[in-house]
Structures are given as C-alpha cells and as structure tokens.
Amino acid sequence: MNTNKDKVILITGGAKRVGAAICRELHAHGAQLMIHYKNSVNEARALQAELNLLRTNSVAIIQGDLHNVAELPSLVNQTIKHFGRLDVLINNASTYYPTEIGQITEAHWHDLTSSNLKAPIFLAQAAAAELRKHHGCIVNITDMHVERPKKGYVVYSVAKAGLVTLTKSLALELSPEVRVNAVAPGPVMWPENNPQFDEVYRQRVINQTLLKRVGEAQDVAKAVNFLVYDAPFITGHVLAVDGGRSLNL
C-alpha cells in the first residue's frame, strides 16, 4: 500500500474554493496531485505553481469537460501516465443553482446530474482497477441537503442524494480492496454571485447551525484528509461537516 508521502490523487474541480483547500491540505501531507479543471485555467495554473514551489513536480493539472463521458477515462489514464499510479479519486466538482418545479428543463437535468452524479460514476469505473491494485480509496463531496432537500433546488438535491447512494454502492462493489466514503458539507462557503444568499439569509443559516457560525473550506479539507489517510477501517460512510445544522432544520 502506498505511504502517506507518495499517494497520487486525482481531484475534480480542484482549482478553487473548497477544491483548492482540499488540494493544499492533501499536498501538505505529501500527496502528489492531478488537479482537474474545466474553465478555471488561471486558477489551476496558479495553484499548480504555488504547490510545485513547495515540492517540485508534485502537482499537474488537466482540463476536462465532465459532461462528456468519453473524456473521463482519459483523466484517469493521464494521471497514471504522468505519476505512474493512482491511489485516490476525489469527486469534488459540482454545479449548483436552483431549479424550481415548473421551470426545470432537460438541459438543467443533464447539467446538474452530469457533474454531481454521472461523472463520479464513470470516473470511479475508469479508476476501479488501478485503485484495487493499490488498495486505494474514493471520496465524494456531497451535501448536507441530501437528507432534507433545499427548497427550489430539486435537481441538485436529487443528484447529490444519488451521489450518497453511489458512495454506498461503490463501497460494496469495490470492497475489500477500495474504501469509498463521502463528506457532506454544510454552511462552509457561500455560493458566488447568488443574490439569494444575502445577509438576512446568511444570518438565518447561522442561527440554525448548532455551533452558531459558518465553517471554512479547511474544515472540509481536513475531513477529506482524514478519510484518505487516517480511516483504514471506514467505508460506505458519509461524514457531515455542517456545524450541526442538519440536526436543527
């Protein structure tokens, strides 16, 4: 089994926000990273340069459209080609926006389910043989709202709920060689450019959270790091990182 200092990790949507925090945390623990991005090329290159400055040739980046299933095996294959192996797959990339009943289109369905559910299925399938070989693991980033769906976000909630079921299904299918777990963030980072999340909304969320504050991207990153490095007897589990908000909705 690979040691902590030389795990090779492929992470989707790792160029910014929570994904970048996960990359920094794992890299600090010695991982080599293949950071996937779709459009955030400047952020991806900046993060690659930052981390390679700390440890030479430890980070590579790869562009890909997760909507295109035919491209997904290439993300896995290019990671193996570049680093010589693959130990961990982190399905972090996500699309998030409201879809209210009466306004949902097939385009919404394909867009939201592709990044949040379809890509994780086909990436896991493409990586399965390599992960089995190295007794690796998969970590999926879900959402606290899979238990109590967020009003107005029907398709997103369905997709993330599917990702939880996928986590448990893969834990069964890939055992005993591969562990599969998920992290379900709560109020950690506010969505960008969304007027719904104004100060009144934010304060209401804080009041509903047992710890009476929002979390940080680093909280999610540490949870992922735990599941990758320090949880050898945990599989099929969803770890909530929500300050207790899911208990108080």
pLDDT digits (tens, 9 = 90+) for 81-92: 999 999 999 999
Tell me how far CA of residue 116 lies from CA of 91, 143, 183, in angstroms.
Answer: 8, 10, 13
C-alpha angle 162-164-167 in degrees, rounded to nearest 5: 110
CATH 3.40.50.720 for domain 4-247: yes
The pTM (predicted TM-score) of the whole model is 0.94
Residue recorded with tokens 């592709």? 114
Phi/psi at 137 (nearest 5 deg)? -155, 165
Domain ranges of the chain: 4-247
Angstrom distance (rounded) from CA 40 to CA 12: 12
pLDDT value at 191 more than 90: no
Angstrom distance (rounded) from CA 79 to CA 60: 8
Our answer to whether residue 96 is catalytic in this structure is no
CB-CB neighbours of 1 under 10 Å: 8
Least confident of 114-118, 124-128, 147-151, 179-183: 147-151
pLDDT digits (tens, 9 = 90+) for 57-66: 999 999 999 9
DSSP letter, residue 150: P
Q: Is 7 helix (H, G, I), strand (E, B) or coil?
A: coil
User: What's the sign of the alpha-carbon dihedral 234, 164, 3, 81?
Assistant: positive
pLDDT value at 225 more than 60: yes
pLDDT value at 1 more than 60: no
Among the listed residues 37, 156, 201, 229, the single catalytic one is 156
Helices (H), strands (E): how many in the chain? 8, 7
Angstrom distance (rounded) from CA 205 to CA 34: 34
DSSP letter, residue 78: H
Q: 32 and 54 in contact (C-beta within 8 Å)? A: no
Q: What percent of the chain has pLDDT over 70?
A: 97
